[in-house]
Amino acid sequence: MNLKKRFTTKLSLVVLSIFLLAVTTKEEPKAWTSSSQPLKEMARIRKLIKAPVFKNKDYNITDFGAKADGGTKNTAAFKKAIEACNAAGGGRVVVPAGEFLTGPIYLKSNVNLHLKDGATIIFSRDTKDYPIVLTRWEGMDCMNYSPQIYAYGEKNIAITGNGTINGNADKNNWWPWKGRASYGWKKGDPNQFAARESLHVLMKQKIDPKKRIFGEGHYLRPYMIQPYNCKNFLVSGVKLIDSPMWFASPVMCENVIFENVKFISHGPNTDGCDPDACKNVLIKDCYFDTGDDCIAIKSGRDEDGRGNKKPAENHIIEGCEMKDGHGGIVIGSEIAGGAKNIYAINCKMDSKNLDRVLRVKTSSSRGGIIENIFLKDITVGSYGESAIHFNMFYENPGNFMPVIRNIWVENLNVEKGGKYAVFVDAYAESPVTNLKIVNSDFKGVKEPFKINHVKNMDMQNVTINGQIAKFPDTSKNK
């Protein structure tokens, strides 16, 4: 970047940040003064989240021609069973014990896809089985391969039971499209690079998402589960393995529940649960053993996130175990719509690959307000980089200053820390504001803090490497 362009970009950011902060300050919520306040708010939100209820009638897929031989494609049988269930007012579409190969499944309103003990749904590796639908890929809307389980504009839908859903991805199928040798890609093989860049351009140009057509020949991997613009969505009890990409990413949905779900895969970008611009979400008693972030809360990338004007709002995470994954609880990076009221309690994390416990990653190409983040009773065996991590420079800069404010962390206990206890890399014009850490203990940390621009930071009864800790004086950075 030449000096003139660099000066112009910085000047526009300064002007914009002054305007943005002047506008948002009026609406800035009061900082919490005790954990009873967010706990009370969390209890209020919990009452808003209710599981969908279904008619007591079953539709067994074998009655519609499905065969449990692991080789017959049962796409038509699933479709017939779901349509019959929906037409009759709803109920359970039952998958009995056995292995059922299929193409993508479209869930219709009032249908509960229920997997019995010993049931396995195996998804096809043939790209020709995947229709093109409106989907969201890394925070950008486009026409691409259908997610393996998909719904658009439906109400009262669920995936339940004790069975297994197998995305059927490995180093020979789906994962090589990432373009990394460690996931099976070889020089000369196709990859996602050109299509990903093209999608970025189309988003920047604000092209109608229905005209951003990808699919065959473009190598953008489908997700496993993605309801889009749906209400009342439940996933309960099932085990999910080997997704082509992100496991579950509901988009602009309301009233979403994941409970007692196992997310297991070590492929590229195999995030566990990534609700995107959703409202009223409960992620409870889930198990994560993933190749990327365990939970990553999102609200769209850049133009698509800002254009929809839908934040991630009212999320409760509780009782979860993060066995493996790069980030435990992550907000971003596709967070242009903002995020507010995110609560996480009583979770366990322990992994040699865990880089960060709480991570907020954004940039001035995103913008958005991220506020009211509450963590309590979090136990961590070890992590690599930072326990608490805020980064406003995750990707290239733009003209949309991000805001991060009002964070409370209580009873965070770490047995073996990494590089830092707390990391903050923020704009001077938009410091991380109102960060409080209470009754927490960090052992084995190499360097307690790496912090630049902050405002109103406080610690109470916090020890780092056996010493009472206080935030460093960062006034010289302001």
Q: Rounded to whole angstroms, how far apart are CA atoms 332 and 306?
A: 14
CATH architecture of the domain 54-287 equals: 3 Solenoid (2.160)
Three-class SS state of 261: coil
- Model confidence at 14, pLDDT cuts 50, 70, 90, reads very low
Select 1-30+293-478's CATH number: 2.60.260.20, 3.40.50.620, 3.40.50.20, 2.160.20.10: 2.160.20.10
Lowest mean pLDDT among 11-20, 62-71, 114-123, 411-420: 11-20
Mean pLDDT of the region 355-362:
98
Termini Cα distance of the chain: 26
Across the range 53-64, mean pLDDT stands at 98
Query: What pLDDT is recorded for position 471?
Result: 87
How far is residue 459's CA from residue 350's CA, in Å, rounded to a whole number?
24
pLDDT of residue 27: 65
Domain 1-30+293-478 and domain 54-287, same fold? Reply is: yes
List the chain domain ranges.
1-30+293-478, 54-287
In the predicted structure, residue 51 carries a pLDDT above the cut 60: yes
The closest alpha carbon to 113, from 48, 49, 52, 50, belongs to: 52
Query: What's the pLDDT at 19?
Result: 44
Residues 6+ apart with CB under 8 A from 284: 257, 258, 259, 260, 316, 317, 318, 319, 320
- The Cα 5–Cα 55 span in angstroms is 62
- The residue whose two tokens read 């193409």 is 103
| Main-chain dihedrals φ then ψ at residue 238, nearest 5 degrees | -75, 160
pTM of the model: 0.94
Q: In sequence order, what are the residues at sequence separation of 6 or more whose Cβ sits closer than 8 angstroms to the Cβ of residue 193? A: 179
Could you give the CA distance from residue 248 to residue 257 in angstroms, rounded to a whole number? 11
Q: In the prediction, which pLDDT does 8 show?
A: 44
Rounded average pLDDT over 427-438: 98
Strand 262-265 relative to strand 239-241, pairing: parallel
Q: Give me the pLDDT at residue 476, please.
A: 54
Note the pLDDT tens digit of each residue in 300-350.
Answer: 999 999 999 999 999 999 999 999 999 999 999 999 999 999 999 999 999
Among the listed residues 357, 464, 374, 474, the one whose alpha carbon sits nearest the alpha carbon of residue 426 = 474
Q: CB pairs under 8 A, 24+ apart, for 269-272? A: 269/178, 269/221, 269/245, 270/243, 270/245, 270/246, 271/246, 271/247, 271/295, 271/296, 272/247, 272/248, 272/325
pLDDT of residue 23: 42
